Amino acid sequence: MSKVIAALRHHAAHRPDEAALLGDALRLTWGELLAEVNELADRLRDGQVLGVYLPNGPHWVIADLAALAAGMTCVPVPLFFSPDQIRHALRDADVDHIICQRASLFDEGLPTAREETLTVAGKPLSYLQLEDVEDSLFLNRAKITYTSGTTGNPKGVPLSLQQMEGVAISLKETAAGSTDDRALVLLPLSTLLENIGSVYVPILAGATVLVPGADSLGFSGSSQVDARTLGKKLQQLQPTTAILVPQLLKLFLGLAATQMLPNSFRFIAVGGAPVSAAQLAQAQALGLPVYQGYGLSEASSVVAMNGPDDNRPGSVGKLLPHCGVRVAHDGEILLSGTGFTGYVQEPVGLSAVWYATGDLGYVDKDDYLYIDGRKREVIISSFGRNVSPEWVESELLTESGIVQAAVFGNSRPFVSAVIIAAPSADMKSIRQAVTRVNDRLPDYARVGAFVLAEQPFQAETGELTANGRPRRGDIQAHYQQAISQLYESKHEQVL
């Protein structure tokens, strides 16, 4: 039995008329929310694996909870995925039903489907039954979460109900969640961290979930935010808790400095990418209750978290009760108790005793965990998206006008590139080439600006390996000033 659904039923029985879920144009009490979840769950029981392809809002939450109540495996499909990534996730996870705003979103490449209309909380939604789908191998998994992916095809992580709810219970205790909270959803709900931290945790605590649409918050795409719109919405909502990535923390700090941030917050969690010490110090100086944490999808999101009574800035906190940690001889963080059994289509059988995270770090004498970086060259943007530089570079090199490319963007809001053009290519043709490449990529992996350099990368200068691969550290050092200027002006540089 799901503890989240049990908590929903408890609140509906004891506080039926109190606010549970608030969207831009929809308010549901606990009693109304339970009724909507039960009604949709009854309609879903003919399926095994439900794909949820909806924008942030009350209907996403209802669909997710209905899948829990119906015992279906839920597959949140990120809106920021490219069409190829969406099709991959649906096939990879054996999705047999999809709930979405309209079927036309899946016209290209979707298996044959039967469509019906479901009315959920007064809104008509499309419910698609996919044909010729094999029986799922993941019936004992409550969710399959897909990360942004370090390659073109992101990997799905099957998660049990026990894993997810264990994390949610630990987070509720760390954040001291209560019925007085107003938990704000800011990140995409298809992100496991937001799904667990901003929906399951407040439901367990009996808090009100605030789930406005992206537009009303001033969000566009996966990385564009209008600060003024966001500030006005926050003043209106008066939230007490939220989860941020570093780029959003930067916006919050700016809003706080100009007195546009409400003083209602009591707990702001930040994670998903490295957080600078300067940001944490500024938050402290402004009196913001910001607490850094750390997690990964393979461990069912959060594994370590600072809290009001146990906070050490610079660390990612102490491990939650369900996890153990040790550090390998090369500095890699190893975790136990994650329950990780392999990716979809890549099972490893029984859960390994220790899971190698790929992150480097250490544990201090007081058991606080510190993260120093990644073992391999994966770009983690300031919005918490993982991007393989080889992936984007390979796409750039498909263009005839581009002969060499190296991409960067760790802890930055967008990917940048140093490009060597063919002799016949001019700036206009390179811009057009980059636009064509970006049209093929999901928005978190698109090249936001580039340096057009005349001097090719060479092994002799240390910018290439012996087999012709770019040495990104050396290239970045060479072009450091120009790359930094890209993020200040977001205009192409010609050297």
Say whether both 351 and 402 belong to one domain: no
The pLDDT of residue 86 is 87
Give residue 79's pLDDT band: very low, low, confident or very high (50, 70, 90): confident
Instruction: Say if residue 330 is in the same domain as residue 195.
Output: yes
Confidence of residue 151 (pLDDT cuts 50, 70, 90): low
382 lies in some domain: no
Could you tell me if 79 and 168 lie in one domain? yes
| pLDDT at 138 > cutoff 70 | no
Assess whether 9 and 108 both reside in one domain: yes
Total count of domains within the chain: 2
pLDDT(231) > 70: yes
Q: Do 359 and 409 fall into the same domain?
A: no
* Cα distance between residue 245 and residue 285, in whole Å: 19
Note the pLDDT of residue 38: 97
- Which pLDDT does position 111 carry in this prediction? 62
The reported pLDDT for the residue numbered 301 is 93
Q: Please check the confidence at residue 262 and state whether its pLDDT lies above 80.
A: yes
- Any domain includes 361: yes
- For the ranges 51-55, 201-205, 384-388, which has the lowest average pLDDT? 384-388
* pLDDT band at 197; cut points 50, 70, 90: very high
Q: How many whole angstroms separate alpha carbon 474 and alpha carbon 331?
A: 23
Average pLDDT over residues 58-76: 97
Round to whole Å and give the CA distance between 380 and 298. 16
**Separation CA 259–CA 253 (nearest Å):** 10
Residue corresponding to tokens 């564009």: 224
What is the per-residue pLDDT across 393-410, written as a single tens digit (0 to 9) for each?
A: 888 988 889 989 999 999
Cα–Cα distances in angstroms (integers) from residue 367 to residues 88, 266, 272, 316, in the given order: 40, 25, 21, 11
Number of residues written out for the chain = 495
Give per-residue pLDDT as tens, 296-308: 999 999 999 999 9
136 and 45 inside one domain: yes
* Half-sphere exposure at residue 40, Cβ-oriented, CA atoms within 13 angstroms: 31
Examine residue 286 and state whether it is found in any structural domain, yes or no.
Answer: yes
pLDDT at 12: 98
Give the residue, 421 or 113, on which the prediction is more confident: 421
Q: Do residue 338 and residue 415 come from a single domain?
A: no
468, pLDDT greater than 70: no
- What is the rounded average pLDDT of the residues 15-30? 97
132 compared with 401, residue with greater pLDDT: 401
Question: Lowest-pLDDT range, 30-39, 50-59, 387-396?
Answer: 387-396
H/E stretch holding 433 reads helix 427-440
Calpha distance 73→158 (Å, rounded): 9
Beta strands in 27-170 (DSSP E): 27-29, 49-53, 73-76, 97-100, 113-120, 123-130, 143-146, 156-159
pLDDT recorded at residue 467? 55
The overall average pLDDT reported for the chain is 89
> Is residue 40 assigned to a domain?
yes
pLDDT (0 to 100) of residue 423: 86
Q: Is the pLDDT of residue 198 over 90?
A: yes
Q: Which two tokens stand for residue 373?
A: 């970086």
CATH code (residue 23): 3.40.50.12780
Which tokens belong to 125? 């939604």
Instruction: Please tell me which residue, 131 or 39, carries the higher pLDDT value.
Output: 39
pLDDT at 490 over 70: no
The mean pLDDT of 281-292, rounded to a whole number, is 94
Please tell me which residue, 21 or 331, carries the higher pLDDT value. Answer: 21
Residue 383 lies inside a defined structural domain of this protein: no
Mind listing the pLDDT tens digit for each residue in 88-122?
Answer: 899 899 999 999 998 776 656 666 678 899 999 99
| Domain boundary, last residue among 313, 346, 374 | 374
- Tell whether 362 and 397 lie within a shared domain: no
Q: What percent of the chain has pLDDT over 70?
A: 92
258 and 319 belong to one structural domain: yes
Q: What is the mean pLDDT of residues 180-185?
A: 98
Lowest mean pLDDT of 3-7, 180-184, 450-454, name the range. 450-454
CATH number of the domain that 479 lies in?
3.30.300.30
C-alpha closest to that of 355 among 303, 282, 287: 303
Span of 133-142, 228-237, 238-247, 281-290 with lowest mean pLDDT: 133-142
Point out the domain boundary residue: 324, 352, 374.
374
> Could you tell me the two tokens for 251?
């916006």
Same domain for 188 and 77, yes or no, is yes
Who has greater pLDDT, 465 or 379?
379
The yes-or-no verdict on residue 220 having pLDDT over 60 is yes
283 and 135, same domain (yes or no): yes
Percent with pLDDT over 90 in the chain: 63
DSSP state of 16: T
Rounded to the nearest 5°, which phi and psi values hold at 27? -125, 125
The answer to whether residues 183 and 259 belong to one domain is yes
pLDDT at 427: 93
Q: Which pLDDT value is given to residue 221?
A: 66
| Nearest residue to 355 (alpha-carbon basis) of 331, 377, 325 | 325
The band of 246, judged by pLDDT with boundaries at 50, 70 and 90, is confident
Q: Is residue 380 a part of any domain in this protein?
A: no
Tell me what pLDDT residue 237 has: 98
Which of 374, 406, 431 terminates a domain? The answer is: 374
| Tens of pLDDT, residues 348-380 | 655 567 889 988 899 999 999 999 877 777 888
Torsion from C-alpha of 393, 397, 403, 406, nearest 10 degrees? 0
Flag whether 483 is in a domain.
yes
Let me know if residue 379 belongs to a domain. no
* Structural domain boundaries, residue 228: 3-374
| Lowest-pLDDT choice from 191-195, 205-209, 386-390 | 386-390
Distance (Å, whole) CA 85 – CA 91? 10
